[in-house]
A and B are shown apart, each in its own frame.
Chain A
Amino acid sequence: MNWLAQQLDNLAWMAHGGAVYVFAAMAIVCALAVVFTHNVVRMAFWLILCLAATAGLFFSLNADFVGAAQLLIYVGGTLVLLIFGVMLTASGPFLQMRTKPGEMVLGGVVGLALLGLLLSSALAVRWGERSPVLASEVVGAGFNPVAEGNTTRELGLKFLGASSRDLKTGRGELSAGYLLPFEIVSVHLLVVLIGAAYLARTKRRKQPADSSGDSRSAALSA
């Protein structure tokens, strides 16, 4: 019985850690599938899976707000992309898109540069000093996701310029907070949205009452 409990514990631990790797592997495979697929809609499908797997990564690391935002913004954005992909590019059903060799080289260079950047920053972290916190471990250690609210409550407190660590120690020192920058960015986005709507709408030709009326009647009479 004891042995069984131990095995179950090991299995559970592996499952928790494994979830991260499963989502990571899924994200990589789907990202590769996006690159190597030629059909626009299939690309969008793989992109959805890739983004959803990334959201899964966030969820399994207790960052539920970022995960949900990932689903809402990126997957929802892909939806619109998909619609435009179908409506604008496909002249016939199931259009195939081929990449030119030049594009392949250009994309490869950009991709490798990004990979180098990511690798260098990942290797710069001393991973030995930071132990990843799994959901089950924090429950076991008395951490209460319900009370501590995963990352969401922390994010909200940061907006007000506080952090839960400060609150625990009772220092109560407040920084300026991120609320004002956040508001500025969101108003900026609103301006962009209105601007886009203004630029994209069909323009009605303004006809001055006299001259156009005259010319039209002249054309009709002629």
Chain B
Amino acid sequence: MTPVLAASSILELLQQYLSPNAAYLLAAVLHAALVLGFFGVAPLIYIWLERKVAGRIQDRLGPTRVGGKFGWLQTLADGIKLIQKEDLCPEAADRMLFRMSPYLVFVASFAAFLVLPWADGWIAQNLDIGLFFMLAIMSLEVMGVILAGYSSGSKWALFGGMREAAQVVSYEIPMAICALVPVTAAGTLSLMDLGRIQSGPFLNWMIFHDPFCFIAFFVYFVVATASVKRAPFDLAEAESELVAGFHTEYSGIRWSYFFMAEYASMFAVSGVATALFLGGWNTGLGLEETVLAGWREAGGPWYLLANLLGAKVFITKGCLLVFVQMWVRWTLPRLRIDQVMTTCLKYLLPISCALFLGVAIWPLAVFKLTGRSTLVNSLKVMGTDIGRPMSERSFVPGVPQARHAGPVEAQATPVAPAPQGTDRAGAELRVPAAPTLVPAAADKVSSS
């Protein structure tokens, strides 16, 4: 086994050849480049898919000519057309803001990808507060849209921008509360830890954790669709009333930045939904604790293979959700702006608050009524019991996982390989388990 294949992360790989500083810098650059690659390629495919889906739903064929039978290269042809168009700036526009705002949208949309968990240990930046960061970043994207609407010097664009502002400021609230529902159930904000909790059979996914999480998934998905301004919530660019809304005055490559960001954001919110509710990179077949665990222990190329499968599963789940967003767009009519606001403030917001309250009470109620911490305590599927309480699952957030000493010894030590930033110094665990500490601490407080 060559050491190149033994590394479980890019950082670990580079650390074999470079000094820590250089490895860290290069790993950061490579992570950003990989994510940027996905960020660039995914919209290419999604825009093609959107045309195909729209076509099929409207009983048409969609693109059929460019690049073979299914029009695979249609988006590329569009891109080439857009690049060679003139970069127009209207006479009435605020030139500086007009030129800057597409980049603002683009950058905000890209930054959201930094904390998406692709597979166990594969994440561009593993933050403890990944979800919080994600919500913060996604609220920035609307900034560019509002500035674009304002700076265009056009009534249509201004209306579009203002609508977008009103819509996003309202929809941010139920979105954050809905995202908190599975977080409350799982007890961690880290998207990587959330993925690890949901390993095993699909009943371990957070969506099946309790009825509140189940409903919260659908509410989140509706709100997320609105927050990336997709139909039926695309009031910012309502073609029937506002020409093209906030991007009426844009053309060429700047216009295409808005679209790249929109399609990339569709995947970003779908990725968050996947990581929060749908098991992240886990197959849901119980493979993680049987077959894949063996692969991970074997280390080297097997570890890579297990993670590649995980990334594949994650992207597939995300793409399915993106497909549902397209399906909804070409099926449902657009709402009016007052209906959009009513939906959010009168229905989605109270629903999400009730769900949040419910999920906080759920474990107490179940314990009080049944004496167990879950409803399905002893159900066995395929040899592994499902519906286990959080504390008995193979991964518990806050408890540091044992780390293998180095990439080369990975074969010998049958423990879960660490994500990036692996403690290469050795097996010493630096932080004692926080959740186990707390009851002891509470005892001390009550006794004193």
Q: Which residues of A contact B (CB under 8 A)?
A: 5, 8-9, 11-13, 15-16, 39, 41-42, 45, 48, 52, 64-65, 68-69, 71-72, 75-76, 79-80, 82-83, 86-87, 93-94, 135-137, 139-140, 142, 144-150, 152-153, 156-157, 160-162, 164, 167-168, 172, 174
Cα–Cα, bound, A152→B432 (Å)? 15
Residues of A within 8 A of B419 (CB): 146
- Total contacting residues, chain B, CB less than 8 A: 61
Cα–Cα, bound, A69→B133 (Å)? 8
Residue from the list B100, B420, B437 in contact with A146, Cβ < 8 A: B420
Q: Across the two chains, which residue of chain B brings its CB closest to A147?
A: B400
Known interface pairs A12-B25, A149-B128, A150-B127; A160-B441 also in contact (CB < 8 Å): yes
Return B73 CB to nearest CB of chain A, in Å: 37
Residues of A within 8 A of B140 (CB): 52, 71, 75
Q: 6 closest Cβ contacts across the A-B interface?
A: A140-B20, A142-B425, A12-B25, A72-B136, A136-B24, A71-B136
Residues of A within 8 A of B444 (CB): 172, 174
Residues of B within 8 A of A39 (CB): 94
Return A130 CB to nearest CB of chain B, in Å: 20
CB-CB contacts below 8 Å: B400-448 with A? 400, 418-426, 429-432, 434, 437-438, 440-441, 444-445
**Contact A75–B430 (Cβ < 8 Å):** no
**Contact A79–B431 (Cβ < 8 Å):** no
Pick from A15, A75, A80, A147 the residue with the most CB of B within 10 Å: A147
**Contact A174–B441 (Cβ < 8 Å):** yes
**Contact A65–B430 (Cβ < 8 Å):** no
Residue from the list B20, B129, B162, B440 in contact with A68, Cβ < 8 A: B129
Residues of B within 8 A of A83 (CB): 146, 162, 165, 169
Q: B292 at interface (Cβ–Cβ under 8 A)?
A: no
**Contact A8–B431 (Cβ < 8 Å):** no
Cα–Cα, bound, A34→B174 (Å)? 33
Return B274 CB to nearest CB of chain A, in Å: 21
Residue from the list A71, A140, A146, A160 in contact with B19, Cβ < 8 A: A140
Q: Which residues of B contact A (CB under 8 A)?
A: 11, 17-26, 92, 94, 96-97, 100, 126-129, 132-133, 135-137, 139-140, 142-143, 146-147, 150-151, 153, 162, 165, 169, 172, 189, 398, 400, 418-426, 429-432, 434, 437-438, 440-441, 444-445
Known interface pairs A41-B151, A68-B133; A79-B142 also in contact (CB < 8 Å): yes
**Contact B432–A167 (Cβ < 8 Å):** yes
**Contact B128–A8 (Cβ < 8 Å):** no
Residues of A within 8 A of B133 (CB): 64, 68, 71
Residues of B within 8 A of A150 (CB): 127-128
Cα–Cα, bound, A75→B169 (Å)? 12
Residues of A within 8 A of B425 (CB): 142
Given A76-B172, A79-B146, A142-B426; 4 other pairs, CB 8 A cutoff: A11-B22, A71-B137, A76-B139, A82-B143
**Contact A161–B441 (Cβ < 8 Å):** yes
Q: Across the two chains, which residue of chain B brings its CB closest to A9?
A: B19
**Contact B94–A94 (Cβ < 8 Å):** yes
Residues of A within 8 A of B94 (CB): 39, 41-42, 94
**Contact A164–B18 (Cβ < 8 Å):** no
Pick from B146, B150, B400, B429 the residue with the most CB of A within 10 Å: B150
**Contacts A/B (CB < 8 Å), 17 sampled:** A12-B22, A16-B24, A45-B147, A65-B129, A75-B136, A76-B172, A83-B146, A86-B150, A86-B162, A136-B20, A147-B431, A156-B434, A161-B445, A167-B431, A167-B432, A167-B437, A172-B440
Residue from the list A79, A142, A146 in contact with B139, Cβ < 8 A: A79
Cα–Cα, bound, A72→B444 (Å)? 37
Residues of B within 8 A of A136 (CB): 20-21, 24-25
Cα–Cα, bound, A94→B150 (Å)? 9
Residues of A within 8 A of B128 (CB): 64-65, 149-150, 152-153
**Contact B150–A139 (Cβ < 8 Å):** no
Q: Across the two chains, which residue of chain B brings its CB closest to A8?
A: B22
Q: Across the two chains, which residue of chain A brings its CB closest to B168?
A: A79
Residues of A within 8 A of B129 (CB): 64-65, 68, 152
Residues of B within 8 A of A76 (CB): 136, 139, 172
Q: Across the two chains, which residue of chain B brings its CB closest to A39?
A: B94
**Contact B92–A93 (Cβ < 8 Å):** yes
Q: Across the two chains, which residue of chain B brings its CB closest to A167?
A: B432
Return B422 CB to nearest CB of chain A, in Å: 7
Residues of A within 8 A of B440 (CB): 172
**Contact A8–B421 (Cβ < 8 Å):** no
Return B43 CB to nearest CB of chain A, in Å: 24
Known interface pairs A13-B21, A144-B423, A147-B400; A41-B136 also in contact (CB < 8 Å): no
**Contact B20–A8 (Cβ < 8 Å):** no
Return B10 CB to nearest CB of chain A, in Å: 13
Cα–Cα, bound, A150→B421 (Å)? 12
**Contact B139–A72 (Cβ < 8 Å):** yes
Residues of A within 8 A of B429 (CB): 147
Residues of B within 8 A of A156 (CB): 434
Cα–Cα, bound, A12→B100 (Å)? 30
**Contact B18–A8 (Cβ < 8 Å):** yes
Residues of B within 8 A of A71 (CB): 133, 136-137, 139-140
Residue from the list A11, A45, A162 in contact with B100, Cβ < 8 A: A45
Q: Across the two chains, which residue of chain B brings its CB closest to A48?
A: B143
Cα–Cα, bound, A5→B23 (Å)? 10
Known interface pairs A153-B128, A168-B430, A174-B441; A12-B150 also in contact (CB < 8 Å): no
**Contact A93–B153 (Cβ < 8 Å):** yes
Known interface pairs A82-B146, A136-B24, A139-B24; A168-B136 also in contact (CB < 8 Å): no
Residues of B within 8 A of A160 (CB): 438, 441
**Contact A147–B441 (Cβ < 8 Å):** no
Return B158 CB to nearest CB of chain A, in Å: 8
**Contact B136–A145 (Cβ < 8 Å):** no
